[in-house]
Amino acid sequence: MDLRLNGKTALVTGASRGIGLATVRALTAEGVRVVAAARTPGPELTATGAVPITADLSDPAAADRLVAEAVAELGGLDILVNNVGGGDGGGGAAGFLDVTDQQWAELVDLNFFASVRVTRAALPALLSARGAIVNVSSVGARVPSGGPIAYTTAKAALTAFGKALAEEVGGRGVRVNTVSPGAVRTALWESPTGYGAELAAAAGVPQDAFLSALPGATGMLIDRLIDPVEVATLITYLASPLAAATTGTDHRIDGGGVKTA
């Protein structure tokens, strides 16, 4: 299917691995010129043909620099994918009383404020292009007990932010949508130092056995974790002109794990 994206421009954050890398690949395959931002761009990202930019979005000043460089490189901006985030490792499996103010601040900053800052910097260019924003949240926003408390709280804020922003800018031609994945085959679950490893250790089982049982334990109707490519495909569609009537929405891609409407 032709998504009518050929020649469009995009900025993708958190682009070096997982959903971000898969999204860069999906967009470039559609003919989109992509600036891909990551703290440590690697050879896989370079191989996509995107323009890699090193950016640590935990630095409040980085968003303005990144967007200015992206707009200069691309000559404008049609699409913003706010994928930057994370909650893997660093005590993510701790209970509420064990999460420090610093951990709260770091997780909320990375999973919420980083996207707010990038969006604020990019919005003038997106308004000029009548473009599209896709925010990558999590089903944890709908099921807050399904992940680290600071992470899921930050993702709930990101989901609400997308809904509110869609109302504000929809009449000016910019669409804003959210994608909320369930358990995806990313470092959060698969890294030996990530959240999945912490949960497996707490349960006293090997990590591979824990991950094999995870879909069934979380109520998913498929017997595997979600592939990043599947999430990237949804993001690419929502960014495309084929989704011109879709805005202000939150699309769960969770294998049927969330049972509410």
What's the pLDDT band for 247 if we cut at 50, 70, 90?
A: very high
Q: How many CA atoms lie within 13 A of 168 on its CB side?
A: 10
Q: Are 78 and 10 in contact, with CB atoms under 8 Å apart?
A: yes
Q: What is the mean predicted confidence (pLDDT) over 158-174?
A: 98
Biggest CA-to-CA distance, the chain: 54
What is the rounded CA–CA span in Å between residue 133 and residue 79?
6
Q: What is the mean predicted confidence (pLDDT) over 107-120?
A: 97
Q: What is the mean predicted confidence (pLDDT) over 216-234?
A: 97
Look at domain 9-184+227-253 and name its CATH class. alpha beta
* 3-state secondary structure (DSSP) of residue 58: coil
Which residue would you say has higher pLDDT here, 188 or 75? 75
Q: What is the dihedral of CA 117, 247, 243, 119, to 10 degrees?
A: -10
| Residues 4, 7, 8, 12, CA torsion sign | positive
Q: What is the mean predicted confidence (pLDDT) over 87-97?
A: 68
To the query of whether residue 151 is one of the catalytic residues in this protein, the response is yes
Report the side by side order of strands in the sheet with 51-54: 51-54, 33-38, 9-12, 79-82, 132-136, 175-181, 250-253
pLDDT of residue 91: 55
pLDDT above 80 for 66: yes
Q: Which of 113, 151, 189, 210 is catalytic?
A: 151
pTM: 0.96
Q: What is the mean predicted confidence (pLDDT) over 184-202?
A: 89
- Would you kindly state where each structural domain of the chain is located, as residue ranges? 9-184+227-253
pLDDT of residue 170: 98
pLDDT of residue 30: 98
pLDDT of residue 92: 58
pLDDT of residue 57: 97
Alpha carbon 219 to its chain centroid, in Å, reads 22
Residue 99 in tokens: 């999460």
Which residue would you say has higher pLDDT here, 146 or 76? 76
